[in-house]
Structure 1
């Protein structure tokens, strides 16, 4: 079981003026601790559960590029980009740039999007769910074609383009891994089977059934579901003084038994050095044996 550190907030004790140095420290220290992934939110406002909308929220791909410059091994991604925030050509170019400058460590995390408050707050159009899923399928087809050989035109339901030229191409071939976030059984998991390399699910009593649904979708499109890296979004809660470490390892063990490959989580206390020390010595070595 691999672990990913999800940076769900940037409201840290040293304030905005120190965010650059704090982020560099967090990236380097997470890598040294053994995390496989470092992810950031792709939001404009902070979301409920982590703080009020007014809390700090950095633009995702600028932040990932900064983290790429301060790390060497960890894979870098958003959990996840809402499809309505960027034209798929710009999104493919941003992830390609991240992949090239990081030495082949970019992952495209993408989903249909949900946060109407921030979209309307900044004046982004927020279409109905049906259209957002149509846009998601357009984007998935578009980025895969842009990462393929050639520069042919593209025609989708909502997007058309005359020449999908992408130079330089991504270092990872045939393309950076595509992670699709969400657990919807009819569309999201079908898109994972058809277009994705990774998925990100929510843990819960129906997680096993969701994995069975994904397996069936894979069979329907003639694909082996073992090709897909299965991840879950959880809270990496060690407790204030590490007293919940055993409980976290039990949860990771249960996820591994279900067939999950990785857990992407937010950890209380970041950027406190003691938190990284516990992950490095107690959690990650044990998780790798699951």
Structure 2
């Protein structure tokens, strides 16, 4: 099992002046202890489960560019990009740029978006749910086409690209891995089966995750996709007050039902002192 990190809270006692140095230290520590990926949320205000909207939050792709420049090995991506915040041509160009400049370490994490408050507050488009899913599917189609190197016109219901040229193309071939976040059984997991290299589930309980994986398996059978082709990932909290053995035992229960990759979140911001335990977690989880 692989472990990754999700930096979702940027509010430290010495913020905002020390946000840059703190993110630098966290990213470099993640690189050094063997974590697979450093993710950041694609939110513009802090979300309710982490704190009030007035807490510090960074724009995802600018933050990922900074992290890419501070690291050498660890992969980088958004967990996950809100499809309605960026037009697809610009989004794929941004992820491609991140992949090229990082030496082939970028993910495209993407989902249908949900935070209407930050969207309306900042004047961003936030269509109804059904339309966001339509836009998500078209964005995935555009991503595959641009990374294939085809600049033929794309005409969809919501997007028209007269020449989706993507030069330079990504270093990662055939394309940066595509992760779709969310666990809606009818739409999200169908799109995972059809387009994605990885799913990302919310966890909650082993039974809930097992149910979602069974639904994903069914969608894979429907579209003729090997279930094994899709990397099964989920978010689980790192608990600094729990022992490494306790946390690895929890990871093991998810590994038994097919989870291959856990993204560590945290209640509150990560701090330097967390990484001794995280280093031990990485080593122990590798044996699962």
TM-score by length of structure 2 reads 0.96
CA distance in 2, matches of 1:271, 1:222: 41
1:96 is aligned to: 96
In structure 2, the CA distance between the partners of 1:129 and 1:270, relative to structure 1 (3 Å rule), is closer
User: d(CA) in 2 for partners of 1:74 and 1:59?
Assistant: 20
Q: CA RMSD in A?
A: 1.2
Matched-pair contact (CA < 8 Å) for 1:235–1:267: yes
Match of residue 8 from structure 1:
8
Residues 151 and 166, structure 1, Cα contact 8 Å, conserved in 2: yes
Give deviations 1:121-166, integer Å, cap 9, x for gaps. Answer: 1111221111010010011111111111221000112001100100
CA displacement 1:218-270 (0-9 Å, x = unmatched) = 1221111111111001111131xxx3433211110011001011111213565
Q: Write the deviation string for residues 22-76 of structure 1: whole angstroms up to 9, x where unpaired.
A: 1111110011111111000101100001111011111100100110001111110
Contact 1:106 1:177 in 2 (8 A): yes
**Change in CA separation of 1:269 and 1:29 when aligned onto 2, cut-off 3 Å:** farther
Deviant stretches of 4+, over 6 Å: none
Unaligned runs of 5+ in 1: none
Give the alignment of 1:195-210 within 5 angstroms: 195-203=195-203, 204=205, 205-210=207-212
Distance, in Å, in 2 between the alignment partners of 1:149 and 1:77 is 22
Please say if residues 12 and 271 of structure 1, whose CA atoms lie closer than 8 Å, have aligned partners that are also in contact. Answer: no
Aligned to 2:253: 254
Structure 2: distance between partners of 1:269 and 1:34: 22
Q: 1-side partners of 2:233 and 2:13: how far apart? A: 30
Q: What are structure 2's unaligned runs of at least 5 residues?
A: none
Structure 2 vs 1, CA of residues 270 and 51 (structure 1 numbering), >3 Å: closer, same or farther?
Answer: closer
Paired residues of 2:39 and 2:77 also in contact (CA < 8 A): yes
Matching of residue 33 in structure 1 with residue 33 in structure 2:
yes
Contact map agreement 1:22 1:271 (CA 8 A) in 2: no
Where does residue 264 of structure 1 map in the other structure?
263
Number of residue-to-residue matches in the alignment: 286
Q: How big is each residue's C-alpha offset from its partner over 1:185-227, in whole Å with a ceiling of 9 and x where there is no partner?
A: 1111110011000110121222112111111111221111111
Cα distance, 1:273 vs. partner?
2.5
Contact 2:7 2:270 in 1 (8 A): no
